Structure formats: structure tokens, C-alpha cells
Structure 1
């Protein structure tokens, strides 16, 4: 049984990687095309009538969710996503499979095994209800700045200028790329829930901006040392309990 398959992914390296991986499953997957954004995805779905789509969620112009809302009939969907574990549990609960980027071959094999148990043309009746609920409750405008109080002033700190956050006592130190530090009254847990996906928690008291990572080294007791490209060339040590999640997003 083969599924007519369409890939909708705006990042070319991710799209090429997925095409290459799927080519190993030609008995089950028939690639009929790819699209680089939601608008092109709609056109390809209408022209190719795929059984299955591999769909990126965060795309410029039109998100994957917005694209799906414009369809009269929804094919089987494998989401390609960078959402956090809580969101991924929601996908699983609603019988919608997902692949966490960067896609790994062992995880893709699990997806193919699921597909072998599903006949083309069969789609979960709860998909659109789930998507509507998910958009209302889980999606949020991506932050671009953080506000902190200093005396009688309120500063707007650009997230792209923040190298890392470090919890200390009842406050959180906001450590900027220029070496300056500011105090935030928000908890690290609350910040972690608001920050975009390029911020990763590596320790119970540390969240770093992955855009500043220059080097990653193995460290004692199954930990990692992150060397940043900020003014101070900061060295941050991860916690042991974060080893698994760190290995996933640095693709080890």
C-alpha cells in the first residue's frame, strides 16, 4: 500500500533531508511533490490530491494550521514541528503523528509503521476540532522583546540581544550579549513558557539563546559545556537531567 505524499516545508535543508529519508520507503511512500509555503501547499494539494502530507507548522505568510483551515477535506497529516513536549503530547492524544525537527531516521520508522496500519483516504474526524482548539489555547504571538524594571524606568530588551537567563535567589538575571545584566521578576519557568524555540533550558537555573552557541563540549557526569559568542565568552554547564533533551536538539 502506497501513500501519495506531499511535503510542505519552507526550510530547504529540512525539505531535502525529509525527501531523502522518505525515498528509503518507496514501498509505502510515493512522493508526488513539495511546496515551500502554505499558499503553494494549497495549490499542490488541490492538484495532486495527496493521501498524506508532511507539514511544517511555522511558515512565513501562512502557518500550517491556517493552511489546513482552508481545506474542505484534510488528508492524513504528519506534522514537522519544533513545539515543546506539552504540545507534542496534544498531537499524540489526538492521533496525529509528528516529527520533531531535525527529523531522525529511527523516529521516521515509527511513523511509517503507523502508516502501514492506516488505509489511504482515512482521516481523523477530530483533526479540525483539535486544530481550532490548539490555535486558541497553545499558539501565541512570538515575543521579540522582554520588559524589565530598573528604578522608575521600564526597559525593553530585544530577545536577539539576550545571550542567556540565569535564576538567582528570587530573581532571574538577564545576561545580554554585551556583558550587561538586568534583573527580571519573572520566574525561569514562566519565561521558558513564553520564549521562542531558539531559547532552550539546559539546567534548572539556565536558559540559553541557541543563536549564541559557538561550541559544545562533553563535560563530567553526562553533562555538556556550552561556550557562547557573547562579550564574555560565557561557559554554561548543563544539568544531568537535561541530557536527553539536549542531545535531541543538537542532533547527537
Structure 2
């Protein structure tokens, strides 16, 4: 009898890690979860030390993406991507060496991954994965977003991004802090993060700042930072602990 594939889950969101781990428990003959990781740095260390057969990999993570992680590995395990890409982009994942799951992951879709793994005689590693990454890179569009559209009183308003100090999650919506005004976007903060240009940085699960508005940064307790923004309200926002490495990289850049 074939032993289960040793597995590591890499995702910056704890509920997503726990949810996927619980799903994988339904397939004990296929997967043995040996660890999880919340960012690229931790994932790299654990993958190199534990040498898993498979990693379930989130693509969009704060600071460094899942693609960045794979580019840093000497030996790449089999990868099941967890993605938010549309069907067109997902075609690039259709190889014998990788699979993809669209969030939120469903058990019925995971069963297809299990069936696909049964067709493998031997794991396929680095070269096939890297060829997929090149294909994905070619499909990714440059972030050229310059404004965001919001609906207000039956009107569409175009808010210029260079006037936005920060975005703040509000349940399944996002509050846009712009000058003395606030606007409400129907998009989640995670969806916006994937579209925003590089001068925006997610510093908390519920906050994305415009780096051009940063006035000063001060260390806060528990490995966090307090960031003051140079907007009309001199807003002060506090980072989340899991975003500590992202902010340090930005400060040191």
C-alpha cells in the first residue's frame, strides 16, 4: 500500500490553513499534513527541513507571493496552487505535475486532485513546475489601476488612487479613506490587494496603506508598528503581527 504524501500548507490566513487541513483529513490515505506556514520565509525553512512530497500553496500573500517562494527553493515539491485566478489563467496549471484549487476550497474539487495524484508513477519536480511559472508570469497583467469605481446614490464615482490614504476592511466591503471623505467599495480588501499598484501595501488583515502618504513609522508592542499618514486627519493605523516581515522589507528597501 502506498504511503500518504507528506504535505505542508502555506497560506497567510489562519482560517484558510485550518479549513484546508480539515479537508485534507478526509483523505488520510493520500495526505499526511506535517506542518503549515503563514509566509514565504517560514515556508522556505520548513520545506527545506521537512522535504514534503506536496505543498498546498496560496499565491497571493503579503510581501512575497507563492511564486516567489518557489523561485527560492532548490528542490520544488509537487504543488497544488490555491488561487483566485479566472478560468483562462487557470489553463496554465493543467500539467501532470501540479493542480489548482479555487478558494474557497471544496471537498468535491479536492477529490479530483486525489484522483489526479493516483495517476502519477513518480513525482515530477522542478523543471515542470518552473515551466508552469513562466506560463503564469506571461498571463499576469501589469497592475495599471489608477482609480477605483464606487457607487453612491445611484451614481458611479471614480476615486483616484493617488488621493487614497488607505483602505480598511468593513465586513465583506472595503472603506476607502480619501481626503475628508469616505467611500464604500463592494470589493473585499483581498480582492483589491491583487489589483492595486506597488505603492500600496497591506500591513494588516484589514488595512492597506498608500505608502506615498506615510508620515512616520513607530515601533509598537508585540512586534507591530504604528504608522501615521499625512492625510487631512493625520490618521494613525497599526500593523498586524503577521505583516511584520513585510513592513521590515519595505523599510529596509
Shorter-normalised TM-score: what interval?
0.5 to 0.7
Equivalent position of 1:99 in the other structure: 101
Equivalent position of 1:87 in the other structure: 89
Native 8 Å contact 2:97 2:125 kept in 1? no
CA distance in 2 between counterparts of 1:81 and 1:115 reads 19
Native 8 Å contact 2:97 2:123 kept in 1? no
CA distance in 2 between counterparts of 1:60 and 1:142 reads 19
Task: Report the secondary structure of 2:94's partner residue.
Answer: helix
State the shift of 1:108 in Å. Answer: 0.3
Q: Tell me the C-alpha RMSD between the 2 structures.
A: 2.8
1:37 is aligned, of 31, 36, 39, to 39
Task: Report the secondary structure of 1:62's partner residue.
Answer: coil
Native 8 Å contact 2:8 2:35 kept in 1? yes
Deviations 1:121-166 (A, max 9, x none): 43263221221342244253373x42xxxxxxxxxxxx2xx34xxx
Equivalent position of 1:54 in the other structure: 56
Pairs aligned (count): 164
Equivalent position of 2:186 in the other structure: 209
State the shift of 1:25 in Å. Answer: 0.9
State the shift of 1:182 in Å. Answer: 5.1
TM normalised by structure 2 equals 0.58
State the shift of 1:117 in Å. Answer: 2.1
Segments of 5+ residues of structure 2 without an aligned counterpart are: 159-171, 174-184, 190-253
Equivalent position of 1:156 in the other structure: none
Equivalent position of 1:112 in the other structure: 114
Equivalent position of 2:234 in the other structure: none
CA distance in 2 between counterparts of 1:3 and 1:51 reads 5
CA distance in 2 between counterparts of 1:79 and 1:142 reads 25
Task: Report the secondary structure of 1:24's partner residue.
Answer: coil
CA distance in 1 between counterparts of 2:78 and 2:96 reads 13
State the shift of 1:89 in Å. Answer: 1.3
Native 8 Å contact 1:76 1:123 kept in 2? yes
CA distance in 2 between counterparts of 1:139 and 1:91 reads 17
